[in-house]
Amino acid sequence: MERNLIQTVRMMRLALPHMKDRPDPAVINVASISGWSPQLAMSGQYSAAKAALIFGTERWALEFVPYGIRVNTVSPGSILVEGNGWDRYCLANPGYFEGYGNYRTGWRSLIRSSRRPWAMPRA
């Protein structure tokens, strides 16, 4: 909880008052798809922390509207990279992964290797 929620709350408490007089202020919190739906076993505390961060971000967004501060969250999923954890999990549990991983993981082939690794290739 400390790493995945409390540190973000502390930082927002420190930063938001100073953002009131800035032009076009914005906060983007990084949550996870684990905060929106059940994930793998043994991730309950992580999921709870991310769900709390998502809910908290919604509250902060409403509270800071009068000051013109935008507060949002993004909830990325896992990236399936050959040889890494998800790939090993997929190979070990093909039946489970078919229903789980196809919509909860991104595929590395969709991500362009460049100075902007988050950029998708042009269609």
Contacts of residue 29, defined as CB under 8 A and 6 or more positions apart, other chains included, come to 8, 12, 53, 57, 71, 72, 73, 74
Q: Using CA atoms of 33, 44, 102, 107 in order, give the dihedral in degrees to the nearest 10.
A: 60
89 among known catalytic residues: no
Rounded CA-CA distance 123/121 in Å is 6
- Separation between Cα atoms, residue 108 and residue 75, nearest integer Å: 17
| Residue in 46, 67, 89, 103 annotated catalytic | 46
**Cβ pair 53, 8 in contact under 8 A:** yes
The CA distance from 123 to 113, in Å, is 16
Catalytic residue set? 46
